Amino acid sequence: MSDEQTPTPVEELDDELASEAAEPEGIDEEALERRSEALAQVVKFGDPVLRSAASPVSEFDDDLATEAERMIGLMRDAIGVGLAATQLGTLRRMLVFQVGSEAEPTVLVNPEIEWRSEDDLATAEEGCLSLPGVIVDVERPLHIRARAVDVHGEPLSIEASGLEARVIQHEVDHLDGVLMLDRTEREQRRGALSALREGGTFAPESPEDEEDLDENGEASTEE
């Protein structure tokens, strides 16, 4: 660890979380239909539940396990990498995530992040199933340690880095009523909010986009 903040370039991180905001390419009609049906069950920006803190789970029964399986199914059908209970309108402190198609889905009940790498940070694009069409840059600690319990109440401890750490932090934020818009820079937040109000899309300019602007700020073209 260094004594100074050392942001990691966006391109060094997997962009799988950012892809949640985009319409997926290369999938069949059946998968698109499942995604549409799953997204219809996800609470969208503007619903006050997304700004509410979830309550700790106190009952570990079959209903909890069933709800966890439902969340995993919806996350997969929506082609997401994480989902918090608040995104389904339930103020219950539970989240699921699956980073990579080969990974096993993980359920965290009553998760708390007990350590973050304060001097080792990374900035990357994030998307959210509850904020369709919006991508923003978010700086987060690159490494975390979290504690939680599983659906049976058994304690869990997770040390995560990179994309996995980012996804866990994103979903824990949901459980605290915090959105990725709260963690991006002011101009991107303004652009994202405008897109959400108008039903449009927003994504930060890439370095390639900036190179295409001439000295007057106009888009340049090359034959």
* Residues labelled catalytic: 171
Question: How do 94-97 and 143-149 pair as beta strands?
Answer: unpaired
Question: What phi, psi does 47 have (nearest 5°)?
Answer: -75, 125
Torsion of CA 188, 191, 197, 202, to 10 degrees: -80
Q: Tell me the three state secondary structure of residue 187.
A: helix
Separation CA 59–CA 37 (nearest Å): 29
Separation CA 93–CA 95 (nearest Å): 7
| C-alpha closest to that of 149 among 112, 176, 104 | 112
197-219 in b/e form (b: 16+ CB < 10 A) is: eeeeebbbeeeeeeeeeeeeeee
DSSP state of 112: E
Torsion of CA 100, 140, 95, 187, to 10 degrees: -100
